[in-house]
Amino acid sequence: MTTTAATPVAGNRAMNFIYRFDQGDASMSGLLGGKGSNLCEMARLGLPVPPGFVISTDVCDQYHSGGGSLPDGLDADIKANVHLLEKSVGRTFGSADSPLLVSVRSGAQVSMPGMMDTILNLGINDEIVEGLAAMMGDPRPAYDAYRRFLQIYADVVLEIPGETFEEILASHKEKAGVEQDFRLNPEQIRGVISDYKVAIRSASGDDIPADPWRQLTLAVEAVFRSWNNPRAIFYRSHNGISHDIGTAVTIQTMIFGNLGPNSGTGVLFTRNPSDGEQKPYGEFLANAQGEDVVAGVRTPQPISSLAGMMPQAYQDLMGLADKLEGHYADIQDMEFTIENGRLYLLQTRSAKRTALAAVKAAVDMANEGLISRDEAILRVDAEEMVQLMVPQFKLDPGSNEMKSALLATGFGASPGAATGKVYFEADRAAEAAAQGIPVILVRPETKPDDIHGIIVSAGVVTRRGGVTSHAAVVTRGLGIPCIVGCEGVQVDPDQGFFSVNGLIVREGEDISVDGATGEVYIGGLETVDPDMDGMTEAKEILEWADQARSLGVMANADTPADALQAVAMGAEGIGLCRTEHMFLDSQRLPEVRRMLVNAEAAEQWRRNQPDGVEEPAPGADLPAGVEDFYGALENVKQLQTEDFTGMLRVMGSRPVIIRLLDAPLHEFLPPYDTVQAELAEMRRLGAPPEEITDKEAFLLLVESLREENPMLGHRGCRLGLSFPSIYRMQVEAIITAGAGLINEGIEVNPEIMIPLTVHVEEMRRLREDLTAAASRVQERLGVKVAYKFGTMIETPRAALTAGAIAHESEFFSLGTNDLTQMAFGFSRDDAQAKFLGSYVEQGILPGDPFATIDADGVGALVKMAVDAGRKTRPDLEVGICGEHGGDPASIAFCHDAGLDYVSCSPFRLAVARLAAAQVAINHAKT
């Protein structure tokens, strides 16, 4: 057996239990945890970290697989390593004379802040505390350290609820007539300690062991146990962290900042974490421990004050900050303690900072030459870019005010903070909004029929549905904050209230919502708009990103206003214009309905005409429904021509992909239940018979359009083939709009997109018919309008037969929302609440496939479609227009799959531009 400096004390056992800080490095986070490997790295870099060692995650694994017992030999290894610490700092563990205390901390590969347990001041007992008091020259902090140790140890190791101790402490403070912990004198703290011991004995039947070695062993076990405490499991499930990685345990010398005026403690950010300003930012408290800062014992001073108090330590600290930021090339969040003038670095990590700060710091660092532009791009979390684009609450989310206002949490479906008065019906919401009242619409779920209420709302909350439900998709398109799947909220629209755990919130009361976090708050919380002053660096980094990326970035937009915003956010075109969203405008809906309810009658009539007759001659005598249909069709055509003129005018020469009617007809009609109720009411009130007859006929129509599985129903190009006049009308409107703009000297590039194709024959027939319709319009107007003809690939069969479909398609747009629904057999309206949430939580699926594309399944279909499509037509234009188009991980997939572009909501364009650049840069690297 050979032992060298780099070999763990335990020698060449099959597995090393323990690594000293100088034996590990940053690459070993899997084995040593993030915290442990970081400390090792710091030690290797010669940074002044308090000496310590790490018990590896393998031991955690053995602990759990061994049914909750530590492996043989670990205790001996711990002892040997503690003796090394004693040597290093010249104090002794378990001795009352210059005692060595240690901290015992958890730390997994992935940071889980606040989720697991840490024990400080371990190695103390009734005797040792007196030695510590002597060393500190003040019994108060020593007793206080002992008191805290007892409390934390009891909580973590013995699982005695913390409230017991809070109550004891509170009663002693009351008796002493003080309000703050640190106002208790040493004698009073001893009283607290005495009561703590009684409480511990009564709750656990035993004392906390006085033997520091025993304390240490039990603490290590407790940390391993804490890996599986409920909040840790929840946190991991919620954040997509594997339950298998386990935690390491870091055991480190306690350094004291409260040994006199030449000691102290503080926090330093190498740059301002709020706005990214390049100036050290932090605070310091002399003669204090870290917990004093947290407890608000005294008000800390700005970090600059340290310069006067301890110039050498300050100089050391600034040097350290430069060194660390240079090394990690990122803003560092450093915790430090000065013990008798000697600087110790307790922790350093990439600072949690706002998106704004992240962007500014990255851009500054690149401009400072600290990192390259590519590195700057990689430094920013693309997902966070969305924060720059939407309002936020003024209060810090962690603040007590926010915590106490929190009502419920759902899934953040469309980001941004909003506040307003709650309404439960789209009609009522629209009325309120018309009076200038800011509205938050709260519904069990939303349907297309609610659109007039959604459009006017400042925010939307639904009890049911996932992040790709109707409410989610519509609000993202509109940029309205939205929370879905907020199961805690019991909504009763009929009675006009919702309740959360018994709390009733009635129509007209104030609530606030955060569409990023999914949180619903009671009351009207103040919001702040994105700070455009701070956007210089955001624009700069996005320009760099545009140079770095190869993937095009387009936007999903349905109105000229959306399109304008999209251009401002850098969209290179419109990847998806949903014409049915234009239909849903409340002023247009009646005319659209008149068209749709008569479509079948008109189609019957048309089929009975001689060959070649596709529409009635002007002035022809038509049956009533047929006349209604063609009248409405003409009116809708005018409206659509205006719509398309507006869109195409904004986008000019940029491509605008317009999807023809996709939604099933019943989406434009009121729900069956509603019509049925209306009919019952009319009968009850004795309405005129002819009105009742009309309503009965309407009910029959609505009934005839019901489907068992509307998702797999009569929609998309199936409608286009059933009712050819409607698609023809839309194409005529597109070409008419284009021709008008060309006459104004404006270049246009419309692309006509057919939804829900399953077979090339659908495309062939529609292409033939619609090309003819387009030609007729061009001929009539005497203007040539260049356009492309293509399809969405959104059914598995379309992806599987893309080679054939490409013969009739100049472009493909991957509709991965529907592709995901069909590939998995998951209804996005139901799956989240029924089982998908649980699947993700339990780790059966690695994530929500509606949020990030499922590379193995749906992704395989995408790749097949791209490859087969390009084989048929090498210049085939291929993009993605589903929700995945704005998700960084999915964007990376799209880059790999060779797509030409991604298309997403205007609000996510910054995310997409950055993410597209990141994947390009990462690929160039490898």
159 binds a second copy (CB under 8 A): no
Least distance in angstroms from the C-beta of 804 to a second copy: 7
- Can you tell me which of 96, 589, 860, 889 binds a second copy, judged by CB under 8 A? 860
Q: Does 245 bind a second copy (CB under 8 A)?
A: no
CA-based end-to-end distance of the chain:
41
Least Å from the CB of residue 720 to a second copy: 11
Cα angle, residue 502 at apex, residues 496 and 508 outer, rounded to 5°? 30
Number of residues lying near a second copy (CB under 8 A): 49
Contact by Cβ (8 Å): 353, 276: yes
Contact segment (CB under 8 A) with a second copy among 146-154, 387-395, 566-574, 793-801 equals 793-801
Distance CA 799, CA 530 (A): 41
d(CA 75, CA 468): 52
- As measured in angstroms, the least distance from the Cβ of 465 to a second copy is 9
CB closer to a second copy, 299 vs 709: 709
The interface region with a second copy, picked from 121-129, 192-200, 578-586, 716-724 by CB under 8 A, is 716-724
861 scored as a contact of a second copy (CB under 8 A): yes
Stretch that binds a second copy, among 42-50, 177-185, 566-574, 797-805 (CB under 8 A): 797-805
- Residue 823 CA to residue 810 CA, distance in Å, equals 25
Catalytic residue among 470, 581, 666, 884: 470
Q: Which of 796, 869, 882, 886 binds a second copy (CB under 8 A)?
A: 796
Does 96 bind a second copy (CB under 8 A)? Our answer is: no
Minimum separation from the CB atom of position 859 to a second copy (A): 9
The most distant pair of C-alpha atoms in the chain lies apart, rounded to whole Å, by: 110
Give the nearest distance from C-beta 45 to a second copy in angstroms: 40
Question: Within a 10 A sphere around the Cβ of 121, how many other Cβ atoms?
Answer: 26
Q: From the DSSP assignment, how many helices (H) and strands (E) are in the chain?
A: 37, 33
> Which x/- pattern, by CB under 8 A, does the window 684-713 give for a second copy?
-----------------------xxxxxxx
Consecutive H or E run containing 492: strand 490-492
DSSP string, 792-845: EE-SHHHHHTHHHHGGG-SEEEE-HHHHHHHHHT--TTTHIIIIIHHHHHTTSS
Name the residue nearer to a second copy (CB basis): 67 or 686.
67
Question: Among 359-367, 561-569, 757-765, 768-776, which window interacts with a second copy (CB under 8 A)?
Answer: 757-765
CA dist 441 and 458 (Å) reads 8
Residue 470 bears catalytic tag: yes
Backbone angles phi, psi at 296, to 5 degrees: 70, 30
Q: Binding residue for a second copy (CB under 8 A) from 758, 792, 880, 920?
A: 758
Q: Which of 827, 870, 896, 898 binds a second copy (CB under 8 A)?
A: 827
Stretch that binds a second copy, among 89-97, 578-586, 618-626, 823-831 (CB under 8 A): 823-831
CA atoms of 266 and 347, how far apart (whole Å): 11
Decide if residue 761 touches a second copy (CB under 8 A).
Answer: yes
- CB of residue 867 vs a second copy: minimum separation in angstroms? 13
Contact segment (CB under 8 A) with a second copy among 94-102, 613-621, 746-754, 759-767 equals 759-767
**At its nearest, how many Å lie between a second copy and the CB of residue 765?**
7
Rank residues 3 and 842 by Cβ distance to a second copy and give the closer one: 842
Q: Which residue has the tokens 């959604």?
A: 454
Helix axes 624-651, 724-743, angle to 10 degrees: 40
CA 758 – CA 717 distance, rounded (Å)? 9
Distance separating alpha carbons of residues 395 and 402, to the nearest angstrom:
7
Pick 95 or 676: Cβ nearer a second copy: 676
Q: Which is nearer to a second copy, 425 or 603 (CB)?
A: 603
What is the identity of the amino acid at 378? L
Strands 332-339 and 342-350: antiparallel
Does residue 822 belong to the site contacting a second copy (CB under 8 A)?
yes
Answer yes or no whether residue 831 interacts with a second copy by CB under 8 A.
yes
Q: With binding defined as CB under 8 A, does residue 835 bind a second copy?
A: yes
**Token duo for residue 637:** 């055509």
For residue 33, the Cα-to-chain-centroid distance in whole angstroms is: 24
Q: Could you give the CA distance from residue 482 to residue 474 in angstroms, rounded to a whole number? A: 9
**Which is nearer to a second copy, 165 or 839 (by Cβ)?**
839
881 is catalytic: yes
Note the residue count of the chain.
Answer: 926
Q: Could you give the CA distance from residue 356 to residue 276 in angstroms, rounded to a whole number?
A: 7
Using CB under 8 A as the binding rule, whether residue 854 contacts a second copy is answered as: yes
All residues at 6 or more sequence positions from 255 whose CB lies less than 8 Å from its CB, including other chains: 50, 337, 339, 344, 346
Contact 444, 493 (CB under 8 A): yes
Is 765 a residue that touches a second copy (CB under 8 A)? yes
CA separation for the pair 740, 641 (Å, rounded): 10
Considering the complex, state which of residue 787 and residue 839 has its C-beta at the smaller distance from a second copy. Answer: 839
Calpha distance 906→480 (Å, rounded): 12
Q: Does 823 bind a second copy (CB under 8 A)?
A: yes
> Stretches 244-252, 548-556, 715-723, 880-888: which one binds a second copy (CB under 8 A)?
715-723
Q: How far is the CB of 505 from a second copy (least distance, A)?
A: 22
Amino acid identity for residue 315 in this structure = Q
Given the residues 881, 884, 894, 895, the one annotated as active site? 881
Q: Give residues in contact with a second copy (CB under 8 A).
A: 707-714, 718, 721-722, 756, 758-759, 761-762, 765, 794-797, 800-801, 804, 818, 821-827, 829-831, 834-835, 838-839, 842-845, 854, 856-858, 860-861
Q: What are the catalytic residues?
A: 470, 881
